[in-house]
Amino acid sequence: MATDASGGGKPSLLSTLPKQLPADFLKEITNGFHADRKLGQGAFGTVYKGFLQDGQPIAVKKLSDNSPVATDKQFKNEVGNLMAIQHENIVRLYGYCHEAQKKVIEHNGRYILVDVVESMLCYEYAPKGNLDKCIFDMSSRPNWATCFKIIKGICQGLYFLHKGMDRPIVHLDLQPANILLDDNMVPKIADFGLSRLFGEEQTRINTINVVGAKGYMAPEYLYRGEISTRSDIYSLGVLIMEIATGQKNSMNDKDMSGRDFVDQVRQTWTDEHIASKYSSLDADSLQQVKTCIETGLKCVDIDQKKRPSIVEIVEKLDGRHAR
């Protein structure tokens, strides 16, 4: 159960928050969605920091008016599924708002009254922001033990999404900006804007537009819109290699699927290179770096059938697999 912001162990107001929240309440706790409270901007809206009455922070994602918003029933169903997910490495969704409002807009030189739906999602607040902000800056980059903990945590979170429920949830947009960090540098997978529920190991041609971060998308998803848990494994592979090497996947890559980065890691990050880059690490930690790079490279195999499953990846990183 969530405790109060002072850490006194008292149950926080967060634990009594109703699932469906009025727009006015969310406006009030974010100080009218004030610019000072802005945490970030994504493809589907803006995220603000709000405070409950007991001082507990919360993140409020205000979906933009032009976001593809489902019908009331679909929205509530989808959100209901997401709110049921409770895992240490997945950002907790606490509540939502889906409210019709009247709005005056200008259209062809005239003002007209239209109905708009205000949609917002309330998430657990992650104090250390996203992974993109800390992993590539050498001055703030965590030590290897923390990097390894982050990699394992992301894998545990993805394990839960792929294997922890009746049907797997495919994330589709795994990338550093979607990994948030708590005070203890525990990673939390965020942003399920594109998630859909699928049958086990099912692959299908997607009918929606392909949206995701360039450089992290599996080729079959990028070029053919094919979605499966294996497309997440590809993105995970790029992410693992970025964390292990401290190098960012180049967005200048011509085919946009991050193959330049993959080739560069494969060619450069030999055992000798790892030992020289991580010269202060002991043998066990060096082996962890090697395992991460090897695993990352397997995950980005062009042939999706050759990619390991999340179960194999977790076992490998836990040292439960033959090396």
Ligand X SMILES: Nc1ncnc2c1ncn2[C@@H]1O[C@H](COP(=O)(O)OP(=O)(O)OP(=O)(O)O)[C@@H](O)[C@H]1O
3-state secondary structure (DSSP) of residue 20: strand
Q: How far is the CB of 92 from ligand X (least distance, A)?
A: 9
Residue among 27 and 188 whose Cβ is closer to ligand X: 188
Q: How far is the CB of 290 from ligand X (least distance, A)?
A: 30
Q: How far is the CB of 49 from ligand X (least distance, A)?
A: 7
Residue among 44 and 261 whose Cβ is closer to ligand X: 44
CA 56 to chain centre: 22
Q: How far is the CB of 125 from ligand X (least distance, A)?
A: 5
Residue 183 near residue 84 (C-beta atoms within 8 A): no
Residue among 179 and 244 whose Cβ is closer to ligand X: 179
Q: Is the dihedral of CA 229, 230, 235, 238 positive or negative?
A: positive
62 in a labelled binding site = yes
Residue among 19 and 306 whose Cβ is closer to ligand X: 19
CA 287 to chain centre: 27
Catalytic annotation, pick one of 137, 173, 191, 260? 173
Task: Provide the token pair at 220.
Answer: 């079959």
Residues that bind ligand X (CB under 6 A): 39-45, 47, 59, 61, 91, 123-126, 129-130, 173, 177-178, 180, 190-191, 193
Residue 204 near residue 196 (C-beta atoms within 8 A): no
Pairing of strands 204-205, 110-124: unpaired
Radius of gyration of the chain (CA): 21
Q: How far is the CB of 140 from ligand X (least distance, A)?
A: 14
Residue among 118 and 316 whose Cβ is closer to ligand X: 118
d(CA 130, CA 274): 26
**Per residue in 65-80, is it b (16+ CB within 10 Å) or e — as a string?**
eeeebeeeeebeebbe
4 is catalytic: no
Would you mind telling me the total number of residues written for the chain in this entry?
323
Residue 123: Cβ within 10 Å count: 20
Residue 195 near residue 262 (C-beta atoms within 8 A): no
Binding residues: 62
Q: Indicate the annotated binding residues for ATP.
A: 62
Catalytic residues, by residue number, are 173
